[in-house]
Amino acid sequence: MSKGLVEKVAEVFKPQAPLWACELTARHVIVAGVNGKRSQIAGKTALELPSSQDIEAARPVLREALTHAGFKGSEIAVVVPDETARIAFMTAEKPSRNAEEQRTFIRWKLKKTIPFDVDTAQVAYQVLGPHRAGAGVDMLVALSPRSTIQEYEMLFDSMDIHAGMVLPSTLAALNLFNAPAGDTLFLKIAPDCVTTTVFQNRRVEFYRRVTDLSLYDSVYPTTLYYHDKLGGKNLEQMYVCGYDSDLREALGEVQQKLGLAAQRIEPRGVDDMFKPALGAVHLKPEGVL
């Protein structure tokens, strides 16, 4: 069984994490791996998928991508579309030290707000720190239908590869991101959705995923929430993952209206499409060309 959606955002290097990762998007199969020290990229490739949305249709392309990238071993991290998970923030007055008891509490707390069976959902969480407005601690929670995760696990099981970790694309990319001290906006732009994440004092405070909107219309409500609900005064920096030539005009509008210059996350010499997979295997981006 996989470790779940994600244990931590921007977490430190973990030796037990797989050295290879595969991201399956609506358009591509993306494979990337790192060396044993996680300091260099061992191989990477991206192949286009057929138009079919059936995950089984990805099997032959997946085999080819693994071969092209030079995949070795029997374990892999799987990066899934952001839409497969629900990301939520919640406050617990006295969180249990027992992980399973805490997951039971999370399921109970979010049962009425999640549009799938929470009792069987796969749950992962991270304690962010003390609640800013009073007692308790704030938590970041990721939930996904167990059947959805099993579908991806079974795809790799059929090739004798163990899905050692399954996590959403944005949270995987954030493993490469070291948030600066000032209030920061992180944009993850995919062909089928845009996610916005707000950091304050290096702590994630807000996450939002939207579809079928222009880039600016996807971002602007997050800035309103930042000012109205998070008490923010001034977003100081904006980082983007997913930037390509087709987005220059849309991103230019965001930069102009928000007064923020877009910066890429490290490693800058690597195409953004590979960064969620590289984040999933905890690449140390320093020094990577």
Tell me if 237 sits within 8 A of 258, measured CB to CB: no
Range from 48-57, 169-178, 277-286 carrying the lowest mean pLDDT: 48-57
Range from 19-23, 29-33, 138-142, 245-249 carrying the lowest mean pLDDT: 245-249
Q: Which of 56-65, 210-219, 236-245 has the highest mean pLDDT?
A: 210-219
3-state secondary structure at position 216? helix
The pLDDT assigned to 55 comes to 77
Rounded CA-CA distance 157/162 in Å is 6
pTM above 0.85, yes or no: yes
Asked whether the predicted pLDDT for residue 222 surpasses 70, the reply is yes
Q: Out of 1.20.120.330, 3.40.630.10, 2.60.120.10, 3.30.420.260, which CATH number does the structure's domain 179-264 have?
A: 3.30.420.260
Considering only CA atoms, which of 139, 215, 209 is closest in space to residue 170?
209
Question: What torsion, rounded to 10 degrees, do the Cα atoms 128, 240, 242, 151 define?
Answer: 10
Fold of domain 85-143? Dna Ligase; domain 1 (3.30.1490)
Looking at the DSSP bridge assignments, the partners of residue 198 are 185, 206
The pLDDT assigned to 95 comes to 84
Angstrom CA distances, 181 to 187, 197, 284, stand at 17, 15, 20
- State the span(s) of the chain assigned CATH 3.30.420.260: 179-264
Average pLDDT (33-61) is 88
Instruction: Count the helix, strand and coil residues of the chain and give each as a percent rounded to the nearest 5.
Output: 30, 30, 40
Average pLDDT (268-278) is 94
The pLDDT assigned to 33 comes to 97
One-letter amino acid for residue 41 of the chain: I
Asked whether the predicted pLDDT for residue 9 surpasses 60, the reply is no
Tell me if 192 sits within 8 A of 83, measured CB to CB: yes
